[in-house]
Structure 1
Amino acid sequence: MPTLSKGELSEFLPHRGAMCLIDSVEAWDETTIRCQTRSHRDPANPLRRDACLDAVAGLEYAAQAMGIHVGLRDQSRSRDNVIGYVGGLRDVVFGIERLDECLSDLIIEAACLLVDTQSFMYQFAISSGGRIVISGRASLFLKSRQP
């Protein structure tokens, strides 16, 4: 499977420009996705505060990877009138305090554990330099946009 570029990924997210945090999808199948990014080292990262990128920002990286996976799984679904959101987080573990101190690229991996019509449960892990720095589970929900 070809790697998907940042431009192609923005089709699956409500974000544009610098807020599209994932650089590429390295691999995906029906149940898993593996993404890569170096945006955590960018001084202009929109999630930085006081020149720092706190580890909690990693939850947005994980959410974007999961959202991209939902879109890739069902490319026939219209994205124009649907928005996805994180409905819950469980068992989140932070192994670091700041993402911007990770010198290697971030690898974001997510595995879909449960699928319903408009909801998804994922297990995710973010690693850098071969070390898991954030992990947990998240529930994603799709909702129709109101006209």
Structure 2
Amino acid sequence: MCLLDSVIDWDADFIRCVATSHHSADNPLRAHGRLAAVCGVEYAAQAMAAHGAASQQGTQRPRMGYLASVRKLVLDVDRLDDIDGSLTIEAHRISGEGANVLYAFEVSGSGKRLLCGRAAVILDVAPPPGA
């Protein structure tokens, strides 16, 4: 599942992406006829993954990562599917050493912040047996 349309800017510590999939009736995160604002965390997680992949250009395969925790989550709206226009997703790498990375993220649309928070990502975790 890819929710992002494009990466519009990035550097070693930052990425900005755009998405319009929040309007899609077949968005896989929709439930009960709506796309809850908390689903914006998945948009942010995908932006973080894109940042990790872009930061490793020219190296071996991208490192596998898992979203370990979300903290300080603030939901400024109840839902995302009624936001006009596109969503802008930004993730800022706050810190990271080895297999642990901390990001701050924000999802905005219609000229306002929709949600924000922090996320911890663990890299290079062995996949579960049978995966």
TM-score (norm 2): 0.91
Match of 2:85 in 1: 104
* Aligned counterparts of 1:74 and 1:50: Cα–Cα separation in 2: 38
Q: C-alpha offsets along residues 74-124 of structure 1, whole Å, 9 cap, x if unaligned? A: 131423xx5311111111100000110111200000100001111110010
Match of 1:35 in 2: 17
* Aligned counterparts of 1:58 and 1:25: Cα–Cα separation in 2: 16
% identical aligned pairs: 39
Give the letter aligned to residue 55 of structure 2: R
* Aligned counterparts of 2:28 and 2:78: Cα–Cα separation in 1: 18
* Aligned counterparts of 2:60 and 2:74: Cα–Cα separation in 1: 33
TM-superposed CA distance for 1:41, in Å, is 0.5
Match among 91, 98, 112 for residue 72 of structure 2:
91
Match among 78, 82, 100 for residue 119 of structure 1:
100
Match of 2:110 in 1: 129
Aligned residues: 127
Q: Secondary structure at the match of 1:102?
A: coil
Consecutive aligned runs of 4 or more in structure 1 exceeding 6 Å deviation: none
* Aligned counterparts of 1:40 and 1:77: Cα–Cα separation in 2: 32
Pairing 1:24–2:24 present = no
* Aligned counterparts of 1:40 and 1:120: Cα–Cα separation in 2: 27
Gaps of 5+ in 2: none
Higher helix share: 1
* Aligned counterparts of 2:49 and 2:122: Cα–Cα separation in 1: 10
RMSD, aligned CA: 1.3
TM-superposed CA distance for 1:144, in Å, is 3.2
Match among 56, 78, 92 for residue 74 of structure 1:
56
Match of 2:39 in 1: 57
